Amino acid sequence: MLADLHVNYESVPKYDKLRKVETPGMRVNWDVEKMKLSKDKTQLTYNDFLTLDGIPVAVYDYKLGTRSALEWVVDQYRVKVDKRSGIKNDPNREGNPRYIVDLIARVITVSLKTVEIVKGLSEL
């Protein structure tokens, strides 16, 4: 079950308690430049238009090395330009503009379920 959860992370249900807070008067924009977590890590500033609120603290109990899966996504899914080559890495998807927002909601689900499964395992 745990392996299936991780292998098929893009098809798990999105965390349904995540609130999308849109900035009034701003144009709808799903593109990300660089995301930032709040100090208490319960909110994620996605861009000037959108903040994701209601991130459960338990999400950060599932770690990939020294940081949580969500922190990894926040760090990796941003626009970057390689200093040597000048090549731009842009994670935004023209054909699926909400991909990163949906990915975040799914990573939250995977993280919470992983923590739940691991807690249920007996000690060796």
**pLDDT tens readout for residues 73-86:** 999 999 999 999 99
Give 32's pLDDT tier (boundaries 50, 70, 90).
Answer: very high
Predicted pLDDT of residue 120? 87
52 located within any domain:
yes
The total number of structural domains in the chain stands at 1
**Token digits for 27?**
């144009």
Give, in order, the Cα–Cα distances in Å from 86 to each of 53, 81, 82, 83, 89.
Answer: 34, 6, 5, 6, 9
92 located within any domain:
yes
CA 112 and chain centroid, separation: 13
Cite the DSSP H helix spans in the chain: 2-7, 69-76, 99-120
Across 53-80, average pLDDT = 96
Q: Are the CB atoms for 30 and 97 separated by under 8 Å?
A: yes
Domain extent at residue 33: 2-115
Q: What is the number of other CB atoms lying within 10 angstroms of the CB of residue 102?
A: 13
Provide the whole-model pTM: 0.92
